[in-house]
Amino acid sequence: MLSDVLLVSAPGKVILHGEHAVVHGKVALAVALNLRTFLQLQPHSSGKVSLNLPNIGIKRAWDVARLQLLDMSFLEQGDPTVPILEKLEKLKEVADFPEDCTDHERLAVLAFLYLYLCICRKQRWTAEDLELINKWAFQGEKVIHGNPSGVDNAVSTWGGALRYQQGKISSLKRPPALKILLINTKVPRSTKALVLNVRNRLLKFPKIVAPLLTSINAISLECERVLEEMATAVPAPEHYLALEELIDMNQHHLNALGVGHTSLDQLCQVTMAHGLHSKLTGAGGGGCGITLLRPDLTGPEVEAVKQALTGCGFDCWETSIGAPGVSVHTAASLDAPVWQALDGLCAGQWASSS
């Protein structure tokens, strides 16, 4: 039982190289960002479990007594279990969605209810706990994306910079503190649909698409090699040049896979006009892109490109890669100014009856 407010956070992530290819068994390089999502868990005596996700406008509450009366035997507890369609259909009845609920909101609520009803909560995380968190997060991903590779939940759990291939994870030792811009085009897309489109293109044109995936694999490996060299030697302009060339090549491959979008083309053109190189990150079809910020750039130069991007209607964050993974911030270890700062930042608030 929770006795106090518990604040936890996990980092946002970007995929440097290997998105889509990773679904087909190739290597992906993924890094955790110094941009975090916070979740506040708070005991309540209201008899309700409430979910508040201010960033996506979700505020729902369920009567705990009613939840306990429902037959939940279709959900197993303990080890992470695959959220099969049949279980999710039953959960939709529990969720009791209002008529005007969008698909986006339905999926977020379903993922929450599935995990909430299945998980036994703990406050201290050992390596084993992290494995468990990662497994649960993977099941949450499945609710939303269908058939994910597992790279996204892995990098948000362990943080840092990861090489990921078919569930095998290795951490890059001392990745350089690269600065990037993370840009949200705000064009909505479905990861599930985009992953399916790539699969269909691979089935339709295997001789063309398979070499593209192999080449993306080689880009990920080359990027890993450059990052490791930067960690052992003093980073040189040649390193950044190589990283920029890899970004450009991968962006063209991703366009050839059919996951580009005019908003992403615009993003690349705008940053290129400032001498910077960008690619989509994640599923594509809109969504987010990343731009590498070389260390030689001055503050005003970075501001100018950020202004140009916000002028296109995009959201833009300057951040760095290699952040810590999922973390617990107990109330006791935080002082008042930190709480005040977090107050404005909380992306999710899960108030639980206990």
What residue ranges bind ligand MEV (CB under 6 A)?
Answer: 15, 19-20, 22-23, 148-149, 151-152, 191, 195, 282-283
Residue 203 or 336 having the CB closest to ligand MEV: 203
Which two structure tokens, joined as six digits, stand for 81? 């279990």
Residue 235 or 282 having the CB closest to ligand MEV: 282
Residue 17 or 294 having the CB closest to ligand MEV: 17
The tally of CA atoms less than 13 A away on the side-chain side of residue 14 is: 29
**Beta strand pairing call for 348-353 and 58-63:** unpaired
How far, CA to CA in Å, does 242 sit from each of 218, 246, 342?
13, 6, 38
Least distance in Å: CB of 282 to ligand MEV?
4
Residues recorded for the chain? 354
Residue 152 bears catalytic tag: yes
Residue 91 or 198 having the CB closest to ligand MEV: 198
H or E element at residue 169: strand 168-171
Rg (CA), the chain: 21
Residue 235 or 325 having the CB closest to ligand MEV: 325
Least distance in Å: CB of 145 to ligand MEV?
6
The tally of CA atoms less than 13 A away on the side-chain side of residue 186 is: 8
Find out whether 8 and 121 touch, Cβ atoms under 8 Å: no
Least distance in Å: CB of 50 to ligand MEV?
29
Distance of CA 2 to the CA centre of its chain: 27
Residue 132 or 283 having the CB closest to ligand MEV: 283
In angstroms, the CA 224 to CA 162 distance is 9
Residue of 117, 116, 134 lying closest to 125 (CA atoms):
134
Residue of 19, 14, 20 lying closest to 322 (CA atoms):
14
The tally of CA atoms less than 13 A away on the side-chain side of residue 30 is: 34
In angstroms, the CA 339 to CA 331 distance is 8
In angstroms, the CA 179 to CA 320 distance is 4
Least distance in Å: CB of 195 to ligand MEV?
5
Distance of CA 86 to the CA centre of its chain: 26
Catalytic residue (one of 4, 63, 96, 152): 152
Residue 280 or 305 having the CB closest to ligand MEV: 280
Least distance in Å: CB of 225 to ligand MEV?
21
Least distance in Å: CB of 127 to ligand MEV?
24
H or E element at residue 113: helix 103-118
Least distance in Å: CB of 179 to ligand MEV?
21
Buried b (16+ CB within 10 A) or exposed e, 186-198: ebebbbeebbebb
Q: Active-site positions?
A: 152
